[in-house]
Each structure stands twice: as C-alpha cells, then as structure tokens.
Structure 1
Amino acid sequence: MARGIGIPRRTGALLAATGVAASVALAGCGASPVTGATADLSPDAVSAALQEGGHLLVWAWEPTLDQVVESFEAEYPNVDVELANVGTGNDHYVVLQNAISAGSGVPDVAQVEYYALPQFSIAGSLADLAPLGASGLDGTYSPGTWGSVTDGDAVYGLPMDSGPMALFYNARTFEAAGAEVPATWDEFVEAARKIHAHDSDAHLIADDGNAGFATSMVWQAGGTPFTVDGTTVSVDLADEGSTRFAGMWQQLLDEDLVAKVPEWSDEWFQRLGDGSIAALVTGAWMPANLESGAPAAAGDWRVAPMPQWTAGATATAENGGSALSITEASTQKALAYGFLQYANAGDGVQVRLDHGNFPATTADLTSPEFLGKEPEYFGGQKINEVLSASATGVVPGWQYLPYQVYANSVFPDTVGQAYTGSTPLADGLADWQDSIVKYGNAQGFTVSGP
C-alpha cells in the first residue's frame, strides 16, 4: 500500500523536476479537457467498453493490484491491462509529469497519493470522473478519503486505501515503565517521560523530521494551514492547529524524548521489535508493516485511539493512502473507469483486503467480518474496531497545496532543523512557510501568508 508516511530527502535534479511539474500544473489551469469530440462518458458507455474490451496502461506500485488485474481480466476477458511500476512516491510523479508534459506515453490510469493529487488535478491532467458515474459513489468511501479526491462536484480519483490515524503501542514496554496508555496529548508527553526515565535507551516515539506526519498532526489539531482556491493559495503555519502541534512536540524534543531514528530504516524496525521505540502515531495501514518488519514483537503490540487535544474528543486525521485516477490524456476513459470501479468499488476491494490492505470503503470498514478479526500479532485484539472508528472521526476541511510534493521535499531543510536542536519548531514552520510562499509565487500561483 502507499505508505505516505514521509518524503525522503531529494536530490537537486529531482527538486528541479518537481519544480517543472508545478510550473506545468499552473500552465494547464483553465485548459479545456481533451476528451475527444465524440467521447461518450456516460455510465452506459462504461458497460459497453468493458464488453468491447481494449488495452489499458496502468502505472501503480501498490502490490495487491497484481492480483486485482488478474481477477479483473478473468471477469472481462476482452480487456488487457498492462500494469507498470515506474517508481514509488515522488519518483513516480516525476515520470508521470514528464510523460504528460511530453504528450506521449501517458498511462490511462495512475496511482496518485492524496497529498499529491491536487498538483495534477489543478493542471487539468486528471479526468473528472463525475460524468462517468463517480458522483454516485458519495457515501461509498470514508469522509476523509472522499474529501481527498473531490473538488466541488468534480471527482478526480476513486480511493484505493486509507490511513486514518491511531496510536500503536508496545504493551510490554508500557507495563514495564508503569506508563498509562495516553488518551490526550498531555498524557502522551507524560508517558514519554515515564518510558525514558525507566530506560534511558527507550523512547516513546521516533521522529527525525517527517512532513507527512507533521501535517497530519496539524490536521488533527484543527489546523487549516493551506487554503487553495484555484491558483490562489494562502499559507498559515502559525494557525491554531500548527501552534498546538509545535508547542507539544517541542516539549518532547527539548526533553530528548524523541528517538531521532529514520523511519523505515533497519534500526527503526529493530527498535520497534525490541520495544525501545514504544509507540507509533500513524495510519491504519501499519499492522502489516509491523508484522513483517518487527516479527520479534509479536503479541506485544496493541492499538488505541489517537490521543486528543480535548479529553473525550474523537478527532483524527489521515496519514497516507492513495487513489486511482484517469489521466485527461487517456483516449479510453470509459474503459479505464470500468477498471477503477472494479478495483476500488467492486470485487477488487476484497481481493486487496485479502492481501492485507486497509479499506477506504465504508461497507468494509463496518462489516462484522472485518471488525471481528483478532490478529495474533496484536494479542488477539480486535484492532479493526479502533481503526475503523478512526476513519469516521477524520476532521473535515483539510486541503493540500497544489505543489505539496515540492513543499514536503524542502521540509527537512526548514522544519527539520528543529530536530537537530538548531532552531525551535515554531521557527522551522515559519521558515517552511516562507519557502512555500516564495516557491509558489515563483511558479505563477498567487500565494500569501496570514
């Protein structure tokens, strides 16, 4: 699945490429969709296209799509799906943008993470799926994921998975340290102190400066630092949510309560396995990664609701997840939408769930079978009850920048400095805001601060 838990440091060449992507994105604003003079984008056309068949090129890295394609082709033998992995995350977006800019080799369908989707939709590079019947799927998906793929009445993708956030914690470490499972962020700080005091080599959490995590935390805190209206953008990384997060996290940094360990590194998994990193606040897709990456901790981990800013609240945010979108350049939009329907709203959903994905579909999030699973790795806890409840609590109204890919890439050079102790976190957020505003204006957007 798309982990979406952070953006690695980028090379200069890749930053240049993402800069070109943003320039092209703005240049495409207001362009008329190129769908072909006689293109039929009705739902009836989708059924006809599936029966007639054809060839589809799909660019995606999500591993369970291999099984989805196999099942889809068995159901619709006249359709040939060519599934290609051209890279993951940012690498994928650079290749996709280059193909769009060149006007050749563009796939019919592309996987796009939620944070990156605005960069392509605002350019007119993604087809509006509403005329094909996607508008009728409102309510099919969790509110957070549906909000991530829609803009007004337009629908720019069908959600493939979701990442509502929760607290994953090592019960053995918590018990040894005498720490309570935190229900609020104040209690989270206290738990961090107890665990580090009990064992100076242990930390409650690891964070070496992660844009995806930081923005999700601001989201859950009620922040709306990015406001986008077409090409007009407002950035306020000193709003209430940003300030809440910065103040609380600064406490952890000042008291050396955060392990500066890169996520997804061997050390990170090793410490998750031995309990010296005792918790994660992350998306609901994490269980399979813990089971495969930290098998030594089987039976020790549990899941609890995301800590709250106000006791008794149930606010959450999304962290990670992606959609399948149809490119505007595709000449087979009806056929492509038939594949999207199957993969993300039809039988393909169960195929992916059978291989460990966390769903975005409300029917699956609430099904007794899904909620009743008791994975041994989590001590037989019905973890999906917690994770599914998180999906219903995602704070509405969040927006990403139309060049979030670039913004996340410069996070280590701005906010990231706070993790080395060279600048306060609030100052790092201010530096990030300056970079975001300057870059956006240089690309032709109208960007302002508060």
Structure 2
Amino acid sequence: MRYSMVKRIAATGAVAAMMIGVPACGSSTAGSGDKAAESNGKTEITLWSWDTNQEIVDKFEAKNPDITVKLVNAGTNKDEYTALNNAISAGSGAPDIAQIEYYALPEYAIKGELEDLSAFGAKDYKDFYTPGTWSSVNVSGGVYGLPMDSGPMAFFYNKEVFDKAGVTEVPKTWDEFYAAAKKIRATGSYIVNDAGDAGFYDSMVWQAGGHPFKTSADGKTVTINLTGDEGAKKWTEFWQKMIDEDLIDTKTVGWSDDWNRELGGGSIAAMLTGAWISINLATNSPQATGKWRVAQLPQWTEGAHVNSENGGSSIAMIKSDNDAKKKAAWKYMEFVSHSTEGADYRVGLGAFPSDTKSLAKSEFLDKTTVTANKQEVEYFGGQKYNEELATAAKNVASGYEFLPFEVYARSVFTDTAGKAFSGDGSLSDGVKAWQAKLVDYAKSQGFEVKTK
C-alpha cells in the first residue's frame, strides 16, 4: 500500500530541503488562521494527507453535514513538510489538520505550530492506543497528534533460506542472530541488508534501550548524546562487527528494484522492520510467497521482551485562533483516528493498527492471508502473522525521543554515519561526525545543547 512504502522512504529520506528557505508552494488552501470558510452554513476545513482517500471523508461528512472537509494530497515527507513549513512561515495557506509522521511531529510541536490536543480531552485516550504510538504523540507534556497507524518492529525471515542454512530455530538473542548470519552467509545469502538507513539506526538504538536525544520541557535545551549513550554504543558496536565480517548486504538499497528481487529470490533472507512491510513484501516480491514467516526481534538479554517502532504517522491540528475550525478539525480527527468506524476502515485498507481494540479483534489476529495486487495470498505460509505483530506492538518500549529537527538529522546521516556502509571509516567514527553536525545545527537554530 502507498502509505506503507511512505513510512520506509521517510525513514531513509534525504530531506534537508524542508529545513531550508525555498519558494512558497502557492497552496490555495485556506490558512488555519483565516476566517472560517462557510458555505450554506457549513464550516470548511482543509486536510493534508497522503493516505486518506475521499471515501472516509465522505463518511465523515455524512455524519457531520455542517462540516466540509477539503482533502489535499500535498505529497509525502519532504514534499509535504516543505509545503507546510512554507505555509506556516507565510502565515497563510496552511491546512487545518495534517498527517505528520511520528519522527517529524516534535519539530512542529516544540516550535508551537500545533495545537495541544489536551484541551480537547486527548489525554484521556492513553489506554486506547498502543504504548509506542501514544508515547510518540506526547511531546513536552502535551498531546500533539492522534495516532493513525504504527510500525512495531518485527523479524521477517525467509524460512526456506534459514532451513537451507541449518538455522532451524529463530534467533531469540543478538548473539544467536550473529551465529545465524554466519551460517546464512556461508550459503551465499545475507541475513539482512542495510546501506545506511537513519530511521533503522534510530529504531535499533531504541530497541537496545538507548535514549540519545532529549528535549527540555520548555523546548530550549536539546541533549545529543550518540557517542555516550549505552544503547547507541551497543548497537553501533554490534552492527560494526556485522559490517566487518561481511554478514550484511551494505550495497543493496532499500526500496530499489534490486532489493525487491533479492528479497524474493532469497539473496536477502530477512528484514528487521516495521509491521507494515507485510503488504509490500507480498506485492513486490511475489516469487517468495509461502516462504516467509514473522517473529519477534532478537533481544539483548535472554528472555527479555523489548521492542521499538519504525514508521507510522499521526494526525495533527495546525495552530489556529479560529474556534469554529478547531472544533470541526477535532471532530474529524476523532472520527478518523479514535472511532471504531475510522479505525476499521484504515485497517481494512492495510494500515497496521495504532489502537489496542483493533489489535485484539479475532478477525485481525486470525488472518493468514495478505492482500497483494487485489488478491489474498498466504505469503507467510499460513501463519497467523498478525498475532506475532500484535505481540510486537505490545512490547514497544515507551519514552524514546526524536530530535526537534529529526528530519534534518536523517538527511545528514548518509554523509556521516552512512559512510561506514561503503567502507569509508568505522560506524562509531561516523556516528561521532553525525553528532558533531547535529550539535552545530542545533546551536545554529538557537538551542542550548548538552552532549551528556
């Protein structure tokens, strides 16, 4: 599905442009601070979203005849955020509500560009959402979005390749993962690929218990401690060992045609990624239908159950002084994200749930087929794969923080830490260079910076 691919692209994206002044995009949408547009007594609100189609808007308008929702696809990650920054800076043309990925949300919240949804009662919704998604929309004591979907990390693997290599037990620890990687490499395949993915690095540091980034409650002080954080060091050292011993494919870039072919043919035997990948696998690597399975991520401590997120997005309300539009926007946000009808609709299209009720439904947990090219296929060999993914969602550790300029941070990962994947220095040296660049950037943006 489109939004599934968006999440992975966003995790890798070269998106520095959103942080740089560029010409205004000339949006014709009504600004969030403008007078409420009314037609025949209706309040009109504008929604920017890349994965909501007109049908759900129509459903909402049928239930709320006094509200009109203007749906605009302003593009994904870089395109949408650049347009949003321009519109907010110009003081006109911004939407009333926008789909914003979890990793980008803090930037808008800390700059005071989003409404704190606590005023609408959102703080009472904690138990409705999964721990990881709820944590991701809570920033500096406020609630700045409602979760729309999620990406709990999971271990997707090609059982046929694993069996061929003599790996008959799914690795439960990272030591076992390392041992399995050596066996799989001996057959000519790689256990996973990574050509330098900043979003993946974040997720794995998170799963290792890391907290390298922190922003003060007042948004003025940022801690950037990649070189000293124990979780970051643990993952960096482990992944360097995998690179040094040629146990991961560092040449194949994710989302390329080569990547899809190698996943389908078994040259890449597994993935450590978000739960939303199921549809992408079945659609883009159909030759491996029936061969893949799903398990939990390996753990740093035997018997532990710690997980992280990769991808996912929220729906947020742009700051406004127009009460009529804010009330209408909140109604739509509740419908699409918090109502049973809205959640069921999104899950039916293939979004991985952000709410606990959807994760507990038998029709979701018992599913053995994946929708690919409008057909239902047993891509995971008849496994009830959503059972495993629901467990992964429950195990997500809360409290991980993204930088208040995470989009910029990911855009400069390739030229710093990413060099290690092409053999240009070590990953630890690259992470050190990445931190230095982030510190400089934070200072240039007026933040007080701490490095430990």
State the TM-score, normalizing by the size of structure 1.
Answer: 0.89
| Residue type at the aligned position of 2:443 | N
User: Aligned residue for 1:175?
Assistant: 163
1:43 alignment counterpart: none
Letter aligned with residue 16 of structure 2: L
After superposition, the C-alpha distances for 1:160-204 in whole angstroms (9 at most, x for unaligned) are: 0011101000111111111232111111111111111012xx211
- Separation in 2 of the partners of 1:430 and 1:169? 32
Aligned length: 421
Give structure 1 stretches of 5+ with no counterpart.
22-33, 40-48
Q: 5 Å matches for 1:256-335?
A: 256-259=246-249, 260-329=251-320, 331=322, 332-335=325-328
Distance 1:53 1:379 in 2: 51
Which consecutive aligned stretches of 4+ in structure 1 deviate over 6 angstroms post-superposition? 34-37
8 Å contact kept, 2:34–2:92: no
Partner of 1:126: 114
| Aligned 1:22-421 pairs, distance under 5 A | 53-62=42-51, 64-151=52-139, 153-179=141-167, 180-199=169-188, 202-229=189-216, 230-238=219-227, 239-259=229-249, 260-329=251-320, 331=322, 332-346=325-339, 347-375=341-369, 376-421=378-423
How many angstroms does 1:367 deviate by?
Answer: 1.8
Tell me which amino acid in the other structure corresponds to 2:379.
Y
Root mean square deviation of aligned Cα: 2.1
Identity within the alignment, %: 46
Change (3 A) 1:144 1:183: same
Whether the 8 Å contact between 2:33 and 2:92 is mirrored in structure 1 is no
Q: Is the alpha carbon distance of 1:52 and 1:277 closer, same or farther for their aligned partners in structure 2, counting shifts above 3 Å? A: farther
- Out of 421, 424, 429, which is 1:422 matched to? 424
Structure 1, residues 322-350: CA drift from partner, whole Å, max 9, x if none?
00001003730110010000000111111
Which amino acid counterpart does residue 416 of structure 1 have in structure 2?
A: G
Amino acid at match of 2:43: G
1:227–1:247 distance in 2 versus 1, CA, 3 Å: same
Q: Can you list the C-alpha shifts for 1:273-299, whole angstroms capped at 9, x where unaligned?
A: 111111011111111111111111111
Report what 1:31 is aligned to: none
Q: Distance in 1 between matches of 2:125 and 2:190?
A: 43
In structure 2, the gaps of 5 or more residues are 23-31, 370-377
Using the TM superposition, give the Cα deviation of residue 78 of structure 1 relative to its aligned residue in structure 2, in angstroms: 3.4
Query: What TM-score results when the alignment is normalised by the length of structure 2?
Result: 0.89
Q: Name the CA distance, whole Å, in 1 between partners of 2:13 and 2:47.
A: 27
Q: Tell me if the contact between 1:106 and 1:330 (Cα under 8 Å) persists in the aligned partners.
A: no
Q: Distance in 2 between matches of 1:15 and 1:356?
A: 30
Q: Cα gap change, 1:36/1:140 in structure 2, threshold over 3 Å: closer, same or farther?
A: farther
State how far apart, in whole Å, the 1-side matches of 2:157 and 2:258 are. 18
More divergent stretch after superposition (399-408 vs 389-398): 389-398
Letter of the 1:74 partner, please give it: A
